[in-house]
Amino acid sequence: MGKVLIFGTSLASYRAAANFARAGHKVVLLNRGEFLWHKFTQMQWQQPRDIINGYSKGVLLGVANMTGNIEVYHNAEILGAEGGPGNFRVKFKHRPQTVNEFKCIGCDICHDKCDVKFIPMPLGPGMRIIKNAEECLDVCPVNAIQIPKEEEKEETVDAVVLSPEYEPESIEKFGGNLKNVMSFREFAWLFRGKGVDKRFLQTQDGKYPKSLGFFTPAGFEGYLGSYEEQVIIFREALNMKEMDPSLDIHIFLKEIRLYGHNQMVLYDKAIEKGINVHLIDDFSIEQDGDGVKVNGTHLDLFVVMPGQKVPEEWKEMAERMGIEIENGFAKTRPFTFETTRDGIFVIGPFLKPLGSTEAIYQGTAIVPQVEKYLKPPQMPEMPKMEFNVDDFNPKVGVFLCKCALGDLKAEVNADYVVEKDFLCMHPEEIVKEIKENGLNRVVFGACSPALRGGMLEMLANKAGIHSSYVELVQLREYVSRVGGDSRKASAMLNAAVAKARRDVFVEVPTVETVKRVAIIGGDLAALIAADYLVNKVPVVYIITEDFDPVYDATGVKSDTLNMPREELERWYADLKERVLKRVQWIKGSVDSIEGSLGNFRISVGDEDIDVGVLIIATGGEIVEKGSHITSRLEGTTLHASLASIYAKRKGVKATYDLMKSFSLLDLNPPEAERGKGEPVAYVKPREYNRKIAELLGLKLDEEGFFFFAEEPREWVERAGIQFMLFEEPFGGVFIAGLAHRPMSIEEEVEEAGFAAQSATYLMRDITSPAGKFISVTNPRKCAGCGICVDACFTGARYIDEEDKIAKVRPALCMGCGACTSVCPSGAAIIRAYSPTGVFEMLKEVVK
Amino acid sequence: MSENELLKKFLKDAFEKGLIEAVMAPAATQDSYTYALITKKEDVDKLTPIAPVMQWNGADMLRRITKLKKAERRMLAILRPCETRTFKELVKFNQINPENIIVLTYDCPGTIHARNYKYDKVPVEELIEEIKKGGKSDKIRDSCKVCEYPAPIPGVGDIALGLVNAKEPVFFSLSDIGKEFLAAMGIQEGSRNADEWIKMHRERREKWLEEERITGGRKGIEEFLSSCLNCHNCKDMCPICFCKECFFEDHSVFDYESSKYFNWADDKDGIRLPTDKTLFHIGRLIHMGTSCIGCGLCQQACPMDIPLYRLFGIVGNDLQKVFDYKPGVNDDIPPVMDFREDELHEFEGLLGGEE
Amino acid sequence: MKEENFDPVIVGFFCNWCTSAAADLAGTARLHYPPNIRPIRVMCSSTVDPVYLIRALQEGADATILGGCHPGDCHYITGNYKARRRVAIVKTVLKSLGFDDTRVLLEWISGSEGPKFARVMNEYTAYIRERGPSDFKYLDSLGGEEIE
């Protein structure tokens, strides 16, 4: 197994660390702050109200627990690296946290006895910084308090990934020091945690503003950023309008950078709801009474969403690590994340200005690129467990944690009730007591599952009690910490006992899958994905009549943007030759696809191919001198990135509308004026997409591009779903390259890498991601009406043609239970939430 | 020639021309009418295409025929407008395979309560006479009197027989299949004006929706259902309740330890013992209210003569208004199978909307 | 309807990913709200069968809350839209029969909105307290009807 050092905890790093660990490699994560999240990621700067922030950390912690492959150092600074790939000796200094966040159980005992700064945070105990740590080491029952002594350390690793966090530019240039001008972050902070409500919208004088302006400087000199700033201010403006339709809302933009599926819908909706969108060439701002006047419009409150800053420290870090930079960003080799020094990689905001979606793609796509320097991965063996299964003679034990219960007195009716000071500190005792008392159901009255709840469940497993017989009552966060009384504690515990009595054993099914991948289409992304996959998957098919020639839009990094055509073609020819030697190329096009994740059957002519995962890379036609796409308000998809790279490479005079691209270009933009210049190129989606979409039940946008990782909805290019898990939400079908949207080759590398790496995770027998919440059908009751099929968002339910009843594909079921609440017959059920159990629980909980 | 004779002739011709291989239509029994299936021209005379009683919902019968496989033979079904709408609704729920079925429907004279008919056999011709004049008999069931769609609707069913305000009945088509069928039969499509007649029904319905609503919350529903036997007949007869086994057969039972019964009785100076019927009715409203067709068979089925259509019809109407859904009159997806991103904000939060 | 010393019970079905996380955060941050709230963790707001809401009201709850993720943020993509339809059905049925439909509350509370969670619980409990015991409580259930 390989070992990778990751520096910084940007969005891309969270993801990358989790991916390396899951792929079976060791990770050393150098976190620059006192705790994970201390330094903000791009999402936290730009959308501080979103929960999906939390998932980035959640995913990382989940994988860290599951694999034991991640080691974190805090307050870290990277000092340098000697050696080369396979043998880097990385020097860094670090200072331990005063409270180890992995150990802390949030009992708050230290609050009384030490000088603690407490920062509440979702998913976990909250963060604590103790000023006098040396003096109160003994206070902590779990020994989580550490002396914050700085030390230097050296780690030997195979490769290094640099991914420092995003920092926003200051807003001074745009009136930042005037009264009632605030950065977007400050503005979003008004509502943070409290919800969108009129009560919280206030100017700096504490008044309710009648007019509100948003601005992001995309297109103005010195701006570094992506499209994301605009997506967010449009969304926020719409939120405000929904909260109070009488608000006078203005958005100021030099150009519209809303590309990607359906983002233009935000613009249309803004116009429809009466939000004023001003396209401005010059920006002027002055104080006007208590508010400001922006380009002649009075506003009570003005919100600026700045672009990205390139911190000085990046330069120093680059020097220490011996890598080159350009325009403040790391220089990389064409179409890779590898810097000018072998074995040192860069992802995230240090690579180029990007949106959160790209950052997440990069965090996965990095793995196959680094793996060439890594020893083969090792996956931890899961121990096999034996469980006592007895659905009919419940014997319920209740374990109460004093830390959770506090001063409350709980009256619980169960076969065995015991109270302990800290449950999590007495694992052996609990196992022993479960066995000795012959318990077959356990209720824990403890803390949040994000804390020790999960661990307690594992304890019960160890004692032979299956997870379907374990109930957790969050006594601490739901009762004692929020002013709950003994009556509430008792009611909740007795409800859990009542439910536990009705719990039945739920076996989580595992689906045997075909360990092969098929790539449909001959896009560049197909070749890139295949290039990664051939080393990991026994059989890789590419199904296409022919391969598309490499096209002339390469990327925003200078060496790809200015790459001579011959070099580009040579790179492409090498790639193609290398791939075709190892894959099975099936010439032809797909006639039919049957089955689902793990077991697809594809017919191509007379040939039938069985595969577990599909990657769709059907590509698109590049039409030069195109005319339809590049204008701002035609179509819902703007192909800006591609078109502006074309403009730049060809030295064409372009219009503003063409310039909706990543901002490295803006450092040296081609001459551009609004409405002048020529549209240069666009991507036309292939007709073939329609057929594939129909066969697989996928959705296409208006123009014929696939939706992927984003439902056709307003909150576009939805980062949220990508935070959830790794590969499961996609049902074994990944879209990459021009089939998805117009993109540069750099972006194709990211998407193809994401698809390939995610596909490898599915090259195993798949245990239902729903776990004990797996949905099942009672065949005796099912009338085959198909309401559940419509309710299922993953396509896990279907009507069996033979039996005319609904059946479940366990590999796809995520356990949300939407099917159960719509089924009128009670035939679709999640046995862990059966109506019988819930009804019993309700009887107790209302007491 | 009476309307029934006319239809029988139509059926015989269709058999002769080879346009159909089977017919499903009502046939008389001792005290009522039931649905019958025939496959031979000679058997047509056993049918009563327009019956004065609707003992079963015909769409429910078609469900039984096609639940497992599509109709094996080309079949013509004679259904009332409400049954035709049920047919369409059940197709959406995968309960009927519409392939190979041609539906003939007609301006509905209404039906008589099955029990009343048993003791007073009003001939159907009497009912039809009324509507020919643009009126309606007052012997028909309550739900028929306030029917929202008493006449065939284009796109729902295939062939229609117009009776209202028509000296002679007229055939006209409701779908392309119907059009072809009539052409093959050599029948000239006619027309009749039923607008006033439908308006009369709708006005009656509006008044009914206003006046007959069950109000008063707890007291209202308790009094309304006080004679309910919890026999579940209403559910059995409801064509939209297509479940094999009702959710509330299993889950409506309240089990308590006996001490609890006695303690409550002590505390309250005597209690009324729970009967499970209220959750059953409210639960059924939640499950099928959005698709309630308004056939009124629930009310006909009630042995205690509870005017159940006031419950299901009116609450169903409210529910359908919320989702702007009309069951069985077009191809809209039933509300329980669908959702939109931007809708129903009035149900969010305490006062509706995001805060 | 208002009664002296009326102490309502409010059953909350909170989705695992957003509203339960917000309740967690409220706990971590020690934001107090009335003990009348009885949280039940469910996987998704769409897990909650409308019958559960009705049943809770019937079994003795004075009100119920269904908490889910904000539209567009659902962990299961569209679960909250489906839940909204279910709630619309329940509330319409209740209102249509003359019951108090504000006894069912649908709220979107994201995982980072601990303070919003506490605020909603405070406000709703106060509202229900003001409104008095539910008309639906023990309807046709044990503990319900006195004989006349």
Same domain, B199 and B224: no
- The answer to whether the CB of A123 falls within 8 A of the CB of C21 is yes
Q: Please list every residue in chain B whose beta carbon sits closer than 8 Å to the beta carbon of residue C123.
A: 350
Task: Single out the residue in B182, B211, B240 at which a domain terminates.
Answer: B211
The amino acid sitting at B154 is P
Residues of chain C with pLDDT > 70, as a percent, come to 93
Distance CA A795, CA A272 (A): 34
Q: Chains touching chain B at 3 or more Cβ pairs under 8 angstroms?
A: A, C
CB A451 within 8 A of CB A125: yes
Q: Is residue A416 part of a domain?
A: yes
Shared domain check, A444 and A401: yes
Q: Give burial (CB, 10 Å; 0-12/13-18/19+) of A623.
A: middle
Q: A87 and A21: one domain?
A: yes
Q: How far is C83 from chain A (nearest CA, A)?
A: 8
Nearest to A821 among C73, C86, C120 (CB): C86
Q: Which of residues 120-139 of A touch C (CB under 8 A)?
A: 120-126
Q: Are residues A199 and A76 in the same domain?
A: no
Task: Phi first, then psi: give them for residue A745, nearest 5 degrees.
Answer: -65, -35
Please report residues of C whose CB lies closer than 8 A to that of A479: 35
Residues A755 and A835 in one domain: no
Q: Are residues B127 and B8 in the same domain?
A: yes
pLDDT of residue B315: 96
Does residue A7 sit in the same domain as residue A67? Answer: yes
pLDDT of residue A671: 64
* Phi, psi dihedral angles at A836 (to 5 degrees): -60, -50
The percentage of residues in chain A with a pLDDT greater than 90, rounded to a whole number, is: 59
What is the pLDDT confidence band of residue B75, given thresholds at 50, 70 and 90? very high
Assess whether B53 and B16 both reside in one domain.
yes
Residue type at A552 in one-letter notation:
D
CA distance B156 to chain C (A): 26
Chain B residues inside the 8 Å CB shell of A825: 243-247
Q: Are A16 and A367 in contact (CB under 8 A)?
A: yes
Say what the pLDDT of residue A48 is.
72
Q: Which residues of C touch B335 (CB under 8 A)?
A: 85, 89
Q: Say if residue A312's pLDDT is above 80.
A: yes
Clarify whether residues B100 and B22 are in a common domain.
yes
pLDDT of residue C77: 80
- Which residue, chain included where needed, has tokens 């058997």? B43
Q: Has residue B47 got a pLDDT over 50?
A: yes
**Which of B270, B290, B318 is facing C147, going by the closest CB pair?**
B270
Number of domains in chain A: 6
Containing A381, the helix (H) or strand (E) segment is none
By Cβ distance, the residue of B220, B272, B286 closest to C50 is B286
- pLDDT band at residue C144, thresholds of 50, 70 and 90? low
Q: How confident is the model at residue A662 (pLDDT cuts 50, 70, 90)?
A: very low
Domain boundary among A731, A761, A791: A761
* Residue showing tokens 């505390």: B267
Point out the residue among C25, C83, C116 whose CB comes nearest to the CB of A122.
C25
Residue B354: inside a domain: no
Q: Which of A225-234, B167-176, B246-255 has the lowest mean pLDDT?
A: B246-255
The answer to whether residues A594 and A711 belong to one domain is yes
What whole-number distance in Å separates Cα of residue A598 and Cα of residue A518? 12
What pLDDT, on the 0 to 100 scale, is given for residue A51?
60
pLDDT score recorded for residue A724? 55
C30 to A817: CB separation less than 8 angstroms, yes or no: no
In a domain, B28, yes or no: yes
Q: Is residue A124 part of a domain?
A: no
Residues B241 and B326 in one domain: yes
| Least trusted range by pLDDT, from A714-718, A843-847, C40-44 | A714-718
Computed over every residue of chain C, the mean pLDDT equals 89
Say if A847 is an interface residue toward chain C (CB within 8 Å). yes
Tell me which of B211, B234, B266 is where a domain ends: B211
- Which of C55, C77, C89, C103 is the best residue to mutate to test the B interface, defined by the most B CB atoms within 10 Å of its own CB? C89
> Same domain, yes or no, for A211 and A295?
yes
pLDDT for position A354: 85
B322 to C88: CB separation less than 8 angstroms, yes or no? yes
Instruction: Render pLDDT for A746-783 as a digit per residue (tens, 0 to 9).
Output: 889 999 999 999 999 889 888 888 889 999 999 999 99
Alpha-carbon span C93 to B289, nearest angstrom:
9
Q: Is B257 on the interface with A (CB under 8 A)?
A: no
pLDDT at B354: 38
Region A345-371: what's the mean pLDDT? 91
Interface membership of A495 toward C (CB under 8 Å): yes
B274–C50 CB contact, under 8 Å: no
Locate A536 and state its tokens: 């990991």
> Nearest by CB to C87, which of B256, B268, B347?
B347
Mean pLDDT, range A568-576, rounded to an integer:
95
% of chain A beyond a pLDDT of 70: 91
Position A711 scores a pLDDT of 44
Q: What is the mean pLDDT of chain A?
A: 87
Higher pLDDT, A263 or A92: A92
What's the whole-number mean pLDDT along residues A68-87? 94
Burial of A464 (0-12, 13-18, 19+ CB in 10 A): middle
**CB–CB of B217 and C136 under 8 A?**
yes
Helix, coil or strand: residue A49: coil
Instruction: Tell me: pLDDT of A819 over 60.
Output: yes
A611 in the same domain as A637: no
Residue A630 pLDDT > 50: no
| Cα distance between residue B257 and residue A222, in whole Å | 75
Domain boundaries, chain C: 10-131
Contact A816 C46 (CB under 8 A): yes
Predicted pLDDT of residue C140: 79
For chains A and B, what is the number of CB pairs under 8 angstroms?
66
Q: Check A198 against B355: CB less than 8 A apart.
A: yes
**A27: CATH:** 3.50.50.60
Chain B residue numbers with beta carbons less than 8 Å from the beta carbon of C89 are 286, 289-290, 319, 322, 335-336
* Amino acid of residue B169: P
Assess if residue A130 is contained within a domain: no
CB of A242 within 8 Å of a chain B CB? The answer is: yes
A394-429 residue pLDDT tens? 999 999 999 999 999 999 999 999 999 999 899 999
| Final residue belonging to a domain, choices A442, A469, A502 | A502
pLDDT at A753: 95
Q: What is the pLDDT of residues A173-225, one digit of tens each?
A: 999 999 999 999 999 889 888 888 899 999 999 999 999 999 999 878 788 88
Owning domain of residue A62: 3-95+150-167+311-373
Cα–Cα distances (Å) from A646 to A255, A548, A671, A744, in that order, read 18, 18, 13, 10
Q: Is the pLDDT of residue B174 over 80?
A: yes
Where is the domain boundary, B164, B182, B211?
A: B211
Q: H or E segment at A793? A: none
Last residue of a domain, one of A455, A475, A502: A502
Question: Going by C-beta distance under 8 Å and a sequence separation of 6 or more, which residues neighbour residue B92?
Answer: B333, B334, B337
Which stretch of A14-28, A442-456, B170-184 has the lowest confidence by average pLDDT? A442-456
Structural domain contains residue A826: yes
**8 Å CB contact of A715 and C72:** yes
What fold is seen in the domain C10-131? Rossmann fold (3.40.50)
In the block, tokens 């306030």 appear at B146
Most confident of A72-86, A559-573, A761-775: A72-86
CA angle B141, B142, B143 (to 5 degrees): 95
Greater confidence, A806 or C71?
A806
Burial B219-237 (b: 16+ CB within 10 A, else e): eebbebbeebeeebbbbeb
Q: pLDDT per residue over A512-524, tens digit each?
A: 999 999 999 999 9
Judged by average pLDDT, the poorest of A443-452, A725-734, A829-838, C18-27 is A725-734
pLDDT band at A632 (very low <50, low <70, confident <90, very high): very low
Q: List the one residue out of A127, A128, A133 whose CA is nearest residue A145.
A: A133
Three-state DSSP state, B250: helix
In a domain, B162, yes or no: yes
Interface of A with C in 422-451 (CB under 8 A): 448, 450
* Alpha-carbon distance B56 to nearest alpha carbon in chain C (angstroms): 27
What was the pLDDT predicted at A640? 58
Domain membership of residue B352 (yes or no) is no
Q: How far apart are CA A64 and CA A25, in angstroms?
A: 11
Low-confidence winner among A303-307, A783-787, A812-816, B351-355 (lowest mean pLDDT): B351-355
Kindly list the partner chains of chain C, i.e. chains with 3 or more CB atom pairs below 8 Å: A, B
* 3-state class (DSSP) for residue A536: coil
**A431 closest CA partner among A389, A394, A467, A461:** A461
- In this structure, the answer to whether residues A599 and A712 fall within a common structural domain is yes
Domain hosting residue B18, numbered range: 3-211
- A573, A426: one domain: no
- Phi, psi (deg, nearest 5) at residue B243: -60, 150
Q: Calculate the alpha carbon distances from A754 to A445, A747, B82, B227 in Å.
A: 41, 11, 54, 65
Residues B254 and B296 in one domain: yes
Contact check, Cβ <8 Å, A126/C76: no
Establish if B355 belongs to a structural domain: no
Residue A94 has pLDDT above 70, yes or no: yes
The whole-angstrom distance between B100's CA and the closest CA on chain A is 18
Which of the other chains make 3 or more beta carbon contacts under 8 angstroms with chain A? B, C
* A 733-792 residues inside an 8 A Cβ radius of C: 773, 791
For chain A positions 777-806, those within 8 Å of chain B (CB to CB) are: 780-787, 790-791, 799, 804
Q: Which residues of chain A lie closer than 8 angstroms to B287, CB-CB?
A: 824
**Which chain A residues have a beta carbon less than 8 Å from that of B336?**
787, 822, 824
pLDDT reported for residue A112:
87
Q: Quick one: A614 and A701 in the same domain?
A: yes
Q: What is the mean pLDDT of residues A532-551?
A: 93
User: Tens digits of per-residue pLDDT, C85-104?
Assistant: 999 999 999 999 999 999 99
Is A356 in the same domain as A295? no
Task: Say yes or no for a CB contact (<8 Å) between B286 and C93.
Answer: yes
Query: Residue A784: which region, alpha, beta or left (left: phi > 0; alpha: psi -120 to 50)?
Result: left
Average pLDDT over residues A339-346: 96
B138 touches chain A (CB under 8 A): no
Contact A782 B287 (CB under 8 A): no
Q: Which residues contact C88 (CB under 8 A, 6 or more apart)?
A: B322, B323, B344, B347
Band of residue A661 on the pLDDT scale cut at 50, 70, 90: very low
Place of tokens 């940007």: A10
Same domain, residue pair B154 and B246: no
- The CA distance from A414 to A418, in Å, is 10
Q: For the beta carbon of residue B126, count every other beta carbon within 10 angstroms.
A: 13
B62 and B148 belong to one structural domain: yes
Q: Based on the domain organization, do B199 and B262 belong to the same domain?
A: no
pLDDT digits (tens, 9 = 90+) for B110-130: 999 999 999 999 999 999 999
Q: How many structural domains comprise chain B? A: 2
Angle subtended at Cα B270 by Cα B267 and Cα B272, rounded to the nearest 5 degrees: 120
Inspect the interface and report whether the beta carbons of C28 and A49 lie closer than 8 Å.
no
